[in-house]
Structure 1
Amino acid sequence: MNARFALFGEVLITGVAVAAASLGVVTALPAAVAGAGHLRRHVDGEGGGLSTAAADFRTAFRRLPAASVGLPVLAALLAWNLTAGRQAGTPAFVACLIVAALAAITVVRLAASWTPDDPSPVRTAIHHTVTDPAGSALLAGALLGTVAVGWMLLPLIIIAPGLLLLASLAVHRRLTDPGPSPSNTATRSRVRGS
């Protein structure tokens, strides 16, 4: 099977699973964490199926109780803020959209970067959002693309979590794996040339 097609399938399955597990509202963040962990293991070629994802879900639910409850509250406040901003005029609405986008970017960064041993994962996600503007811009593009796809064909919104988590993993990997250094690239070029 083609590796790209397999990844596409995992993203679709993960999106549906995360959407279904998020129906409990306070389970949305642990579901996203488990989905990101599943996609990370798939990309890295590690094993782990439903039981591993379920263990990730339970661990995240235990370790992130305040954030799990706070996420739906934050979403409700942002929805109310967007409604109020729309009534206040275009500049206020744009400002509210930017705040909502930054909150969504921080949440998907939290899902991608979460580890059980991080003492303050929310602070880490906020730090990455602020100190990596290029990565935040990439995730803003992913959010915009996901909203556009959902707007054009509403049933596709069910796979949106998988798409956003894959984008967040790519951005996070960009931060943690800086790639080959120039000296390593030069060494590889010399080895190939000889």
Structure 2
Amino acid sequence: MSDRDERRREKTARRGELSGAGPVREERAPARFPGASAKFALFGEVLTVGLLITLVGLLIITLPTALVAGVRHMRRFVAADDSNLRLFWADVRAALVPGLVVGVATLAVTLLLLLDIDLARSGYLPGGALVEIVGWAGLAALAVALLVVASAWMPETGWRAAIRAVPAIVAADVAGALYVLATAVFVGVVTWALPPLFIPAIGCAVLAVVAIPVRRRRDA
């Protein structure tokens, strides 16, 4: 066999290993996220998840449910597990009814904070600048909490366990919480600039929420 044929076979074997379609060679450890090795397929999945979350979350109060289903679907995809869309809809059905309470509470708090910011900007409130800062900080904290809850939710434990886990998750990985905050700000900025960009932006946010907790850390 010529060197050219050998290199071609090696390239084919490496491509199959990275994609999960071929065997893993003994001298190399398996990829951490085999489903994410095909970049174009990952990009397509980000758009698909973004579209699904947008559709399910159209009522606003259903957005938490859409996020938990999207996160679980993306987690299965990057792990090269079964990422059939029927599992996404199964998660939607499991999270929907109790998730409406979370959605209503999230919407109420969001509207209250936006009202505070609007009143602070009107000039009628004493210390308006401080009130506005508190309002924006509250919105940021709410966005981070919502994304962390979406990451922690499981059908077996439900919404209460996911919400109660937020302080511990944030305390255990403050840098990760800041990354999640940056992700939420990114979604807000691009949606404000051009609303249709919410679809790819929320898909990217879901991918970030999946990747941030399992990233390699310097202290690991």
TM-score norm. by structure 1 comes to: 0.80
The counterpart of 2:150, out of the listed 90, 103, 111, is: 111
Q: Distance in 2 between matches of 1:126 and 1:81?
A: 25
Counterparts of 2:218 and 2:76 in 1: how far apart (Å)?
Answer: 19
CA displacement at 1:172 relative to structure 2:
2.7
Q: Paired residues, what number?
A: 179
Matches of 1:123 and 1:6 in 2, distance apart?
A: 35
In 2, the alpha carbon distance for the partners of 1:167 and 1:44 equals: 14
Structure in which a larger fraction of residues adopt helix: 1
Task: Assess, with a 3 A threshold, how the Cα gap between structure 1 residues 86 and 166 changes in structure 2: closer, same or farther.
Answer: farther
Q: CA deviation at 1:120?
A: 1.8
In the other structure, the counterpart of 2:53 is 18
What is residue 170 of structure 2 aligned with on the other side? 129
Amino acid at match of 2:105: G
TM-align CA RMSD: 2.5
Structure 1 window deviating more from structure 2 (8-17 vs 131-140): it is 131-140
1:11 deviates by 1.0
Residue 102 of structure 1: which of 141, 151, 155 is its match?
A: 141
CA–CA distance in structure 2, aligned partners of residues 79 and 35 of structure 1: 26
In structure 2, the CA distance between the partners of 1:91 and 1:131, relative to structure 1 (3 Å rule), is farther
Structure with more contact order per residue of length (Cα contacts < 8 Å, sep ≥ 6)? 1
CA distance in 1, matches of 2:82, 2:218: 24
Q: Is the 8 A contact 2:95 2:155 kept in 1?
A: yes
Contact 2:170 2:177 in 1 (8 A): yes
Which digits, 9 at most, give the CA deviation of each residue in 1:21-45, with x for residues without a partner? 1112321111111111111111110
Does the 8 A contact of 2:149 with 2:163 survive in 1? yes
Are the aligned partners of 2:186 and 2:201 in contact in 1 as well (CA < 8 Å)? no
Report deviation, 1:129. 3.0
Residues 1:128 and 1:82: Cα distance change in structure 2 (over 3 Å): farther
1:24-82 superposed Cα distances (whole Å, 9 cap, x missing partner): 23211111111111111111101132211000011112443432332222222222232
Task: Answer yes or no: is the 8 Å Cα contact 1:14–1:35 preserved in 2.
Answer: yes
| Partner of residue 196, structure 2 | 155
Match of 1:73 in 2: 108
1-side partners of 2:218 and 2:210: how far apart? 15
Distance 1:55 1:143, change over 3 A: same
Which of 93-102 and 157-166 deviates more?
Answer: 157-166
Choose 1 or 2 for highest CA Rg.
Answer: 2
Whether the 8 Å CA contact 1:107–1:125 is kept in 2: the answer is no
Question: Does the 8 Å CA contact 2:62/2:99 hold for their aligned counterparts?
Answer: no
Structure 1: which 5+ residue stretches go unaligned? 182-194
Q: In structure 2, what residue type is equivalent to 1:117?
A: E
Whole-Å separation in 1 of the counterparts to 2:132 and 2:68:
30
The CA deviation string for residues 95-125 of structure 1, in whole angstroms up to 9 with x for no partner, is 2111110110000111112112235211112
Compute the displacement of 1:127 (Å): 3.1
